[in-house]
């Protein structure tokens, strides 16, 4: 699908004209570092959403504040918005400890949310990254003006190609980044909850080695559950649920919650 990415640098945008130009998806800059929120975030989101475009958000990573606070800032900026597209981490600035920052940012973002996250970078920057993030969706910038004419790299799931930064789109008065995306950028809408290892004994009092299923299942209120285990203990995986229900259950479970796996 044809897509664009925009920020305050693009000024006021007529998203109805953008949609009529054949654009289906728009990535909107949300945050940079810990303290910067793009001053067009709310306007771009509201107008793109109203025009019926699929909308998503990206964060620009910097090395001047902790990755955990950056991930928190990004999540807080987008958590109450409709995320039609997976959030993206924009990595294009080199600094000491870059990959450590990337991993820490992703881990914190995953702790805060059930969203899949992808990586945006450009071909010439790829050598600054490594295969610890190989399985994350890749949105690659390479200005050859030929969508998907890209060489292989260590990433295993390329979902987008930004093929020009000087494009012209009706409704945008400035030069614009233009992309071709596949369905890998679309946000999953269902998933399942995995708990931590469950407590032993009657209501967790450790008086015997086993799980008090009646005690545990009262927190799931009719949700079908599957008990699984290994040498370390027993945990639960739920049936497939809407992600909104997964997030509600996360709050109910508290310290018993481990993760949400999207489907």
Rounded Cα–Cα distance for residues 95 and 253 (Å)? 39
Cα end-to-end distance, the chain, whole Å: 21
Is 5 designated active site?
yes
Q: Choose the catalytic residue: 5, 84, 90, 140.
A: 5
Taking each continuous run of H as one helix and of E as one strand, the counts in the chain are 6, 14
Torsion angles phi and psi, residue 10, rounded to 5: -90, -5
CB 21 within 8 A of CB 170: yes
Contact (CB, 8 A) for 153 and 134 = no
- DSSP label at 87? -
The residue annotated as part of the active site, out of 92, 111, 165, 244, is 92
In 136-199, the DSSP E strands lie at 138-141, 158-167, 176-181, 190-195
Q: How far apart are CA 215 and CA 13, in angstroms?
A: 55
Nearest to 102 by CA among 153, 63, 73: 63
Q: Is 84 a catalytic residue?
A: no
CA torsion sign, 8 to 13 to 16 to 20? negative
**Coil, strand or helix at 26:** strand
89 Cβ partners below 8 Å, 6+ apart? 58, 59, 61, 102, 105, 106, 109, 117, 118, 119, 120
Catalytic residues: 5, 92
């Amino acid at each position: 699908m044809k897509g664009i990415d925009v920020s305050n640098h693009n000024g006021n945008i007529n998203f109805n004209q953008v949609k009529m130009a054949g654009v289906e998806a728009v990535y909107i800059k949300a945050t940079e570092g810990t303290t910067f929120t793009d001053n067009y975030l709310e306007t771009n989101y509201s107008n793109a959403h109203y025009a019926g475009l699929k909308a998503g958000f990206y964060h620009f990573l910097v090395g001047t504040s902790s990755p955990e606070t950056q991930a928190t800032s990004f999540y807080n900026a987008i958590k109450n918005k409709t995320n039609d597209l997976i959030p993206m981490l924009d990595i294009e600035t080199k600094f000491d400890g870059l990959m450590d920052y990337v991993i820490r940012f992703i881990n914190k973002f995953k702790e805060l949310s059930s969203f899949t996250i992808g990586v945006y970078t450009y071909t010439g920057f790829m050598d600054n990254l490594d295969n610890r993030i190989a399985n994350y969706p890749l949105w690659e910038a390479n200005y050859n003006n030929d969508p998907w004419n890209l060489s292989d790299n260590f990433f295993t799931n390329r979902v987008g190609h930004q093929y020009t930064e000087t494009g012209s789109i009706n409704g945008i008065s400035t030069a614009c980044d233009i992309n071709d995306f596949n369905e890998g950028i679309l946000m999953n809408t269902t998933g399942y909850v995995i708990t931590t290892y469950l407590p032993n004994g009657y209501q967790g009092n450790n008086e015997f080695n086993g799980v008090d299923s009646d005690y545990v299942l009262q927190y799931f209120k009719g949700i079908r559950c599957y008990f699984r285990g290994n040498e370390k203990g027993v945990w639960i995986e739920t049936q497939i649920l809407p992600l909104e229900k997964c997030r509600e259950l996360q709050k109910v479970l508290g310290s018993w919650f481990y993760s949400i796996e999207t489907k």
